[in-house]
Structure 1
Amino acid sequence: MTNRRMFDVPRYATRQVAEQVGLELQLALWAAIDLRAEKGQEMDYLQVFELSVEWVDDEPLQKVLNRQEQPQHEVSFYVDGVETPLDGVTLWVMDSGTYCTMLFPDEY
């Protein structure tokens, strides 16, 4: 049996995420997961993304806080090019072992 890298399985978004979260933001969140995996960081099966808007020079920027419980990890970053930044929104990305799903917490 080979050790697989976390989040290295087919990826899906729920219908609600597909309808309410722009594709550019969805791709940025997947890319953040990929970057952590490439760096060899230990990742929890549940990645939490808290989205907020930060205003800089009268322009809204999409701010993202990515956190996990085991091992404890928390990092913030900004996503450029988000047409409609989301504020006060939380998304989960879960790795079931067979596939990964991006969903809203109330969809679980």
Structure 2
Amino acid sequence: MAMFEKEKNRLVTRSVESEVPIAIQVLIWNFIDELRKKRQSEMDYLQVFQLTVQDGVQEIINTQEEPLKEDSIKVTLPKNLMLTTRIWIIDDGNYSTMLFPFDY
């Protein structure tokens, strides 16, 4: 199975579950699905998502190291859902896990 396949189990750590609104979790999983289609076999096992708020809009910047890639999306969300944080998704071959760097 390829990296980040939708059919794989997708997990979130307890800290992500408690601190990241479900709307943002879904947004990031959907973003990873788009990236997988776009990059095909060029998906690194570690995907980094930097979340910032710019002018009342949630911006999510995705980066990976191998090969070096960067993409971003901007989404208008209710103010109480917006976050400034860094989230990782790691694909270990069996699972894709959404976590904070400090969870690693």
TM-score by length of 2: 0.89
Segments of 4+ moved more than 3 angstroms: none
- CA shift in 2, pair 1:74/1:40, >3 Å: closer
Deviation for aligned residue 1:40? 4.3
* Counterpart-to-counterpart distance in 2, 1:51 and 1:76: 10
Are 1:47 and 1:67, in contact at CA under 8 Å, matched by a contact in 2? Answer: yes
2:9 matched to 1:10? yes
Counterpart AA for 2:73: F
- Aligned residue number for residue 53 of structure 1: 53
Post-superposition CA distance 1:1-29 (Å, at most 9, x none): xxx22111110101100110011111111
In structure 2, distance between residues paired with 1:18 and 1:79: 20
Contact 1:53/1:85 (<8 A) preserved: yes
Q: Which residue of 1 aligns with 2:74?
A: 78
CA RMSD of aligned residues (A): 1.3
Which of the two has greater helix per residue? 2
CA contact (8 A) 1:65 1:75 kept: yes
Which secondary structure state, in structure 2, belongs to the residue aligned with residue 39 of structure 1? helix
Write the letter of the residue equivalent to 1:43.
M
Structure 2 stretches of 5 or more lacking a match? none
Amino acid at match of 2:2: R
* Partner in structure 2 of residue 95 of structure 1: 91
Percent sequence identity over aligned pairs = 42
